[in-house]
Each structure stands twice: as structure tokens, then as C-alpha cells.
Amino acid sequence: MMSEDPAERRAHPRIAKEIVAECAPQSGGVVARMMTRNLSLGGLFCTSAAHFPEMTQVAIRLMLPVKQSGNGETEALEVDAVVVRSEPLPDSPTSGEPRYELGLFFTNLSDTGREQLQRYLS
């Protein structure tokens, strides 16, 4: 029996994009700045100095670059998500501070938010 490729189960293709995101637990707490590594209509994969355990519900603010502006202008997209993956990375040799890889699944992307994200990804 052949094993199923996890990428084939994805409802939305991942696009390699590095953008700034802010994340905070929905129950309140510290806002963490993160850098996305890839993004889709279903969620994102990022690195963070803050640890969020799996199944933590978070509020995300993605700072999406406005393509047509060309001057570094961004527009915020706010969406709720749940942490579905949280793994520590080896300490940075320069800072020695812990970093984490996080997989986040969007839980309430509005139709307007979906259109905004689709424009950015295409």
C-alpha cells in the first residue's frame, strides 16, 4: 500500500512568501512578531521567537504588501487561526534565543479577507 503524500491532501496550495505577521493568543497575552515562510488560503507556516503550544487559538495580523504601490505600502489582514504545529528550532548561533516553527490553520477567513489574500497570492 502506498503512503499518501501530505501535500496532496492540502485544499489550498502553499506559496513561498516572506511577510511580517503579528500573533497573539485569543485569550490575551503578548503580541509576537513572526515571519511567514509560506502562505495559502488555508493557513501559514512561520518562524517565531514566541512559543505557542499546539491547539492554541490565536489572532493573526498579516501585513500584506500592496503590489501596485511599489513603495513598501502594506495592508493589514486580520484572521483567527489555531496552531496545528509547533516545533523548536536549534538556537541561533548569534542570539542564542529560542525560535519556533509554527503551522497555523485559519479558522474564520471572511469572504473579503479571502479575496484580499487571493489578490496577494496571485
Residue 53 belongs to domain spanning = 13-121
Does residue 38 fall inside a structural domain?
yes
Residue 66 has pLDDT above 60, yes or no: yes
Cβ atoms of residues 18 and 38 within 8 Å? no
Task: Give the residue among 86, 87, 81 at the shortest CA–CA distance from 42.
Answer: 81
Number of domains in the chain: 1
Does residue 76 fall inside a structural domain?
yes
Does residue 74 fall inside a structural domain?
yes
Does residue 8 fall inside a structural domain?
no
| pLDDT top residue among 99 and 12 | 99
Residue range 83-94, pLDDT digits in tens: 999 999 886 556
Does residue 5 fall inside a structural domain?
no
* SS3 label, residue 27: coil
* SS3 label, residue 7: helix
Q: How far apart are CA 55 and CA 81, in angstroms?
A: 9
**Sign of the C-alpha dihedral computed for residues 74, 106, 103 and 99 taken in this order:** positive
Dihedral over alpha carbons 82, 86, 3, 9 (to 10 degrees): 30
Name residue 48's beta-bridge partners.
34, 100
Q: Can you read off the three cell numbers belonging to residue 1? A: 500500500
Does residue 2 fall inside a structural domain?
no
**Residue 9 binned pLDDT confidence (cut-offs 50, 70, 90):** low
Residue 5 has pLDDT above 50, yes or no: no
Q: What is the CATH number of the domain that holds 93?
A: 2.40.10.220
Does residue 1 fall inside a structural domain?
no
At 70 the pLDDT is 65
Does residue 57 fall inside a structural domain?
yes
Dihedral over alpha carbons 121, 38, 85, 114 (to 10 degrees): -10
